């Protein structure tokens, strides 16, 4: 998992150009890619590659006696805007992930409202369903229509918001890649 995260962040495999056996040998000896420590998620990557690093990190965190709540509170004080964007992003992502199953649970199906469900009772109480109404939107999402695309877009946007703090590093990586590709031409 750590190698996958490294590859996503850098656009290349760790220790690219070496055989699998050479990579395994280097990792066993704690010889990791030089740029790994500078990545935004370095602690996760290095912890995934090295059990010793993970144990030492855990020991140091415990020795500071900082609870997760205290660490989160301190982070929010230092980065209030970023924290707000991350909370909004996480909320959007979770809601979009749960939306379609929740609609199914109350009776919205691909074939229309299920008999004797909350969705069927709601439809019966309103008579003719108006286009663009909340009920029409819920049914569209359950049927895989345009509303589903909106839910998915909200989830992607929410996930992107949680990563706003990585933008400066991602821009540097993009610029390096762009400059390297232009120099080859």
Sequence-separated (6 or more) residues with CB below 8 Å from residue 143: 110, 112
pLDDT at 171: 67
Cα→Cα distances 93→125, 131, 165, Å: 32, 26, 17
The answer on pLDDT for 180 being more than 70 is no
Mean pLDDT (the chain) is 82
pLDDT at 69: 76
Lowest mean pLDDT among 20-29, 33-42, 58-67, 147-156: 58-67
SS3 117: coil
pLDDT at 167: 67
What confidence tens digit (pLDDT) does each residue in 27-64 have? 888 888 888 777 776 777 777 887 787 787 777 767 76
Determine if the pTM surpasses 0.95.
no
């Amino acid at each position: 998992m750590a190698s996958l995260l490294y590859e996503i962040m850098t656009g290349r495999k760790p220790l690219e150009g070496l055989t699998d056996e050479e990579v395994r040998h280097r990792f066993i000896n704690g010889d990791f890619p030089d740029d790994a420590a500078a990545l935004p998620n370095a602690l996760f990557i290095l912890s995934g590659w090295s059990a010793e690093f993970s144990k030492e990190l855990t020991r140091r965190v415990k020795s500071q006696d900082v609870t997760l709540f205290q660490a989160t509170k301190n982070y929010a004080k230092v980065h209030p805007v970023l924290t707000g964007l991350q909370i909004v992003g996480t909320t959007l992502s979770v809601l979009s992930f749960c939306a379609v199953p929740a609609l199914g649970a109350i009776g919205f199906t691909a074939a229309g409202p299920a008999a004797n469900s909350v969705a069927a009772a709601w439809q019966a109480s309103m008579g003719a369903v108006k286009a663009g109404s909340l009920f029409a939107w819920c049914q569209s999402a359950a049927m895989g229509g345009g509303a589903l695309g909106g839910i998915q877009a909200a989830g992607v946007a929410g996930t992107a918001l949680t990563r706003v703090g990585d933008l400066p590093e991602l821009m540097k990586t993009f610029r390096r890649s762009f400059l390297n590709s232009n120099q080859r031409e």
